[in-house]
C-alpha cells in the first residue's frame, strides 16, 4: 500500500514538473534557463585530504577536472568511485585511473572504490573509505549538471560525520553549456533526465 502511494505521488510529481515545463515554454527564456541552472551547484572547493571523482563520465571530463585540481595542490590523493562493469574483467573505474596515469598522476596518489553503481552508493562507499583512512575533508568532482543531485546525496550521507565536503564541477565536453537547452535535443535529454532523477532521489532520501 505504501509503495502504491509512493508511486502515485511520484507520477503526480513528475506530471506536475512536466506541466510547469510546458508553462515555462510559454513564458520564454529566463524561466526555462533557470530549470537547467538549478541543476548546477556552486563550486566551493578548498584544500582537502582527498578528491573524490564520481564515475559516469562520458569523455573523461570528471577525471580531467580532478587531475587539474590535483595539480593545483587542492589534495594529494584521488579517490575514483565507480563499480560499473565494462566487461567481465574490466570496470569503468579502471579507465578513469588509466586516464589519470596518462595525465601524470603518480600511482601512490590513486585510490579506487569499486562497489558503487549509483550516486547514492558513491557517497556510501566513499564515506567508508574516508572513515577507514581517517580523512577529514574531500572535494567531490562530478559533471556540472550532476552536481546539485550529488551535493544533495553526499551531504545527506555524510551528515553525521565530521568530514568536510566541498564541490567542484566538470564541464560536459559533448556540449558547450546548458544555455538555451530547450533548443537542442541532446541538452533537453540531459536536463529532463537529470530533473527526473533529482525528484526520485529527493523523494527517496528526504523522508
Structural domains of the chain ordered from first start: 2-39+183-205 (no CATH), 50-170 (3.40.50.620)
pLDDT higher than threshold 70 for residue 5: no
pLDDT confidence of residue 1: 53
- Burial of 89 (C-beta count, 10 Å sphere; 0-12/13-18/19+): exposed
Beta-sheet strands, E only, within 39-173: 50-54, 78-81, 110-113, 137-143, 164-170
pLDDT higher than threshold 90 for residue 45: yes
Of 78, 126, 134, 83, residue with least CA distance to 103: 78
Is residue 171 within 8 Å of 57, Cβ to Cβ? no
pLDDT confidence of residue 27: 59
Q: 110-120, pLDDT tens digit by residue?
A: 999 999 999 99
Opening angle at CA 132, ends 130 and 133, nearest 5: 65
pLDDT confidence of residue 88: 82
SS3 157: helix
pLDDT mean over 24-38: 79
Q: 135-180, pLDDT tens digit by residue?
A: 999 999 999 999 999 999 999 999 999 999 999 999 998 998 899 9
Q: Lowest mean pLDDT of 62-66, 87-91, 98-102, 146-150, name the range.
A: 87-91
Query: Binning pLDDT at 50, 70 and 90, where does residue 25 land?
Result: low
pLDDT higher than threshold 70 for residue 41: yes
pTM of the predicted protein model? 0.84
User: Taking the CA of residue 109 as centre, how many other CA atoms within 13 Å lie in the half-sphere pointing to its CB?
Assistant: 22
Cα 14 to Cα 19: distance, rounded to the nearest angstrom: 9
Amino acid at each position: 500500500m505504501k509503495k502504491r502511494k509512493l508511486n502515485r505521488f511520484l507520477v503526480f510529481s513528475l506530471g506536475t514538473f512536466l506541466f510547469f515545463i510546458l508553462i515555462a515554454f510559454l513564458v520564454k527564456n529566463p524561466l526555462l534557463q533557470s530549470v537547467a541552472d538549478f541543476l548546477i551547484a556552486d563550486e566551493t572547493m578548498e584544500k582537502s585530504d582527498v578528491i573524490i571523482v564520481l564515475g559516469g563520465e562520458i569523455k573523461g571530463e570528471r577525471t580531467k577536472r580532478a587531475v587539474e585540481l590535483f595539480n593545483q595542490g587542492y589534495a594529494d590523493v584521488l579517490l575514483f568511485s565507480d563499480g560499473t562493469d565494462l566487461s567481465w574483467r574490466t570496470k569503468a573505474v579502471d579507465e578513469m585511473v588509466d586516464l589519470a596515469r596518462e595525465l601524470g598522476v603518480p600511482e601512490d596518489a590513486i585510490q579506487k572504490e569499486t562497489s558503487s553503481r549509483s550516486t547514492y552508493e558513491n557517497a556510501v562507499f566513499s564515506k567508508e573509505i574516508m572513515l577507514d583512512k581517517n580523512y577529514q575533508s574531500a572535494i567531490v568532482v562530478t559533471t556540472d549538471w550532476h552536481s546539485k543531485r550529488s551535493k544533495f546525496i553526499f551531504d545527506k550521507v555524510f551528515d553525521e560525520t565530521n568530514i568536510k565536503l566541498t564541490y567542484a564541477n566538470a564541464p560536459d565536453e559533448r556540449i558547450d553549456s546548458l544555455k538555451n537547452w530547450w533548443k537542442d535535443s541532446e541538452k533537453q535529454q540531459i536536463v529532463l533526465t537529470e530533473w527526473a532523477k533529482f525528484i526520485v532521489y529527493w523523494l527517496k532520501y528526504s523522508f
